Structure 1
Amino acid sequence: MPRTLTDGIQWIQGCIPRPGLTADYVADPPDWYEPDREVHTCQNAYLVTGDRTLLFDTLSPANRDHVLAELDHALGGRDLDYLVVSHPEAPHAGNAFAILDAHPEATLVAPAHGNEHELYHLGDADRVAPGDTIDLGGKRVEFLQPLFLDHAMHIWLRETTTGTFFPVDWLGFPHMAGECLTVVEELDHEVTVDQLLAFHGRVFFWYQYADVAKTNGVVEELADRHAEDIVAPAHGLPITVDADRFIRRMATVVEHVNERGRLDVFG
């Protein structure tokens, strides 16, 4: 079942078990990891509903039946008006064709910058750039410049009436079985730097080449800008209170990757 994240925004999640952790990680586990529970990485899509509806991202083809069923449930018999893909990778655009087949009335929307990616047929999409908006009637989404990205063709999103920020891959982290569709504030533990590193040390390995002071200046800017927002990442659990405190932990993540290089806890 989709979960209502806030007024007019529903969260669709697909989780993937990750049993293959490195021996070093299992031998000296951080506080967030429990050896007797399964580790999950997740993919999230979000349905924004006003007078019109917009789905942000699609989950991967492995979750095709799941996302189609969850989307139909979330729509409750309504049409899908817009399908927005943040960037052309499987967890974000891999079900675009299937969703458009099921909802041919929907307009496909993709980032304006970057090269066309024929695999996901984004050449037929309406193109949006940072600063562009879509008025859904009672809800309004604004497209943002992605400041931390893993693909040249990439867009972030913010729903302006609820103050919900969608940073796509940034702020991702794994969670334990039983924590699916749980917001960060409902966990019985803090999301630690180690937990954030388990994702960022692999996906954002370019931190090792970054200017730490400049990069963490951007982290501080984002913490200030989105302090009051709900933060809804594509590969982590949403944060609904004290977003600025959570975002500031990323400064330590940047420093760790910069010092140690690429980190991958999954074998």
Structure 2
Amino acid sequence: MTDCIDIDLVANAGVLVRGNGLGLLVDGMHDQDGHPFDRVGAGDMARMGRGEGIFARLDYLLFTHEHPDHFTPELVLDHLERRPVKGVFLPDAAHGSPDLERLIGVLERRSVPYWTMGLNPGQARTVTPEPGLTVTAVGTRHMGKQFQEVRNDCLLVTLGTMRLLFTGDADHVAAYYEEPLRDVPIDAAFVNPIFYHNPNGQAIIDDIFRPLEVVIYHMPSEARDPFHLAFTVKRAMQKYARPDMPVHVLAAASPHVSLCPPME
């Protein structure tokens, strides 16, 4: 079995992670509007339910926070009617919607393993659902002044020998990451365009995350980019390019990346 990990874009920050005989979906079930980012299409939701194509394995569902461009609890409920999962990682219901609370109730009644996070900034919690898979949640706050009360869990997924950090919409505040991630080897860090563009975000990438590779995700489509994030990312990559740290942009034009351990 290869140690390489396949990453496929589903929509926005939703990605399918395949490796070590498992399939993990991160922030990949959402269909609400009111934002400039793509929603998960009905076709992909149907393929998830049928286990077709890249969704042949869909073992764990993971969510960084409950925002409409990352997580729609009702879609998870619909999916569970069609196909079982091994476990679900969720935000804390105390800070969530009635739909999230209802989802947790269904998971409990069906005895589906689940773990609620929604951690305070700087806190960390590690779960090992099965051999070969470990998930460490690191508590942060959502970036943007209007969202500072929203908790966002960064998810460090260890799949086989590979460690992948999914930051969601985490703010670029070094204190959130210093203790839980200092000196933790990271193969790839997934960050959104604003995190990558911001000098504080770059300092966190360089001094704390220190990943072997960076993946920029949470990209809007070309037709829906009111904040000109594609241009922002292009300029930032020119400014911050490092030959020792490859950067991938996961977008509709380039929806797949394979991440492999370094050659010894």
Question: Shorter chain as normaliser: what TM range?
Answer: 0.3 to 0.5
Q: TM-score, normalised by structure 2?
A: 0.42
Q: TM-score, normalised by structure 1?
A: 0.42
